[in-house]
Amino acid sequence: MASPVGRRLRDGPPVVVILVGPPGVGKGTQGGLLAEATGSRHIATGDLLRAAMRDGIDLGREAQEFMSRGELVPDQLMVGLVRDVVEKMDRDVGAVLDGFPRTVGQAEALEGVLFELDRKADLVVVLEADDDVIVKRMAGRRSCGQCGAVYNVHCSRPKQDGICDQCGGVLTLRPDDDPVTVRNRIEVFRRETTPLIGYFDESPTPVHRVQADQSVADVQCALWEVVGG
Ligand SMILES: [Zn+2]
């Protein structure tokens, strides 16, 4: 998607942006759009983990062991994955971190890594939305069991109810998107990130809050105002 102004948002130095927000708030979508507009690398830790496991690199294998035991992937391992990416990036390329850091420990470790690489986090953006809005949005999601395409009965319906436009597969509500599960995931997120946001509020890195229970385009504009302004 092109930026609304039809050009790269920033001509200034590259920025490192940390995006924080509950599951289902649209962090992945907005992170991707923001990265594109700023010519930055979108670093989504979920994608990093999946790629590391798929490619069988050491950190990926280690992460897989924890996950197969149903345990959280330790901070140091996540930090290692992010470090690998940032280290290999050109100095004139910024980054949009999405899904990381999630804890104060990760934030401190990230600060150390960026410092070593002669970079720093330039701003933190907290995407906020009412729980009920997120739950409704997630409960409307329908995923294709065959190709993974995602639809939404509220805003992007398939041509035929329950059937994937792309491959004809059956669309279902994933257990992850079930309202009870979503409320739980939001609760876990708040428990984890309330101290994290407190930590950033006390830090010299500016923290901006963006209301994310609006349309994708409106959130995009609000975000760009904060980052580009
Ligand atoms: Zn499909």
Q: Which helix (H) or strand (E) holds 222?
A: helix 216-228
Determine the pLDDT at residue 141: 92
Determine the pLDDT at residue 229: 56
Rounded alpha-carbon distances, angstroms, from residue 15 to 1, 44, 46:
20, 16, 21
Question: Rounded mean pLDDT of 5-12?
Answer: 48
- Percent of the chain's residues with pLDDT above 70: 94
Query: What are the tens digits of pLDDT across the range 177-219?
Result: 889 989 988 998 898 899 999 999 999 999 999 999 888 889 9
Question: Rounded mean pLDDT of 40-67?
Answer: 86
Question: Residue 99 Cα, ligand 1 centroid: separation in angstroms?
Answer: 26
How sure is the predictor about 1, in pLDDT bands with cuts at 50, 70 and 90? very low
Backbone torsions φ then ψ of 191, nearest 5 degrees: -60, -45
Which residues are CB-contacts of 42 (< 8 A; sequence separation ≥ 6)?
31, 32, 34, 35, 36, 95, 96, 98
Is the pLDDT assigned to residue 72 strictly greater than 80?
no
Is the pLDDT assigned to residue 74 strictly greater than 80?
yes
Q: What is the CA radius of gyration of the chain?
A: 18
What ranges in 69-210 are assigned the alpha helix state H? 75-88, 104-116, 131-139, 179-202
If one counts every other C-beta atom within 10 angstroms of the C-beta of residue 43, the result is 23
Which residues share a beta bridge with 128? 211
Average per-residue pLDDT in the chain? Answer: 87
How sure is the predictor about 76, in pLDDT bands with cuts at 50, 70 and 90? confident
Determine the pLDDT at residue 19: 95
Are 16 and 85 contacting, i.e. CB atoms less than 8 angstroms apart?
no
Question: Rounded mean pLDDT of 158-179?
Answer: 93
Determine the pLDDT at residue 185: 87
Rounded alpha-carbon distances, angstroms, from residue 176 to 22, 55, 134, 156:
14, 25, 13, 19
The catalytically annotated residue of 41, 102, 137, 142 is 102
Question: Residue 129 Cα, ligand 1 centroid: separation in angstroms?
Answer: 29
Could you tell me the pTM of the whole model?
0.83
Question: Residue 171 Cα, ligand 1 centroid: separation in angstroms?
Answer: 8
Mark whether 185 is an active-site residue.
yes
Q: Which residue has the higher pLDDT, 73 or 114?
A: 114
Question: Residue 160 Cα, ligand 1 centroid: separation in angstroms?
Answer: 12
Are 90 and 39 contacting, i.e. CB atoms less than 8 angstroms apart?
no
Question: Residue 193 Cα, ligand 1 centroid: separation in angstroms?
Answer: 34
Query: What are the tens digits of pLDDT across the range 119-164?
Result: 999 999 999 999 999 999 899 999 998 998 889 998 889 999 999 9
Mark whether 183 is an active-site residue.
no
Mark whether 120 is an active-site residue.
no
Determine the pLDDT at residue 3: 41
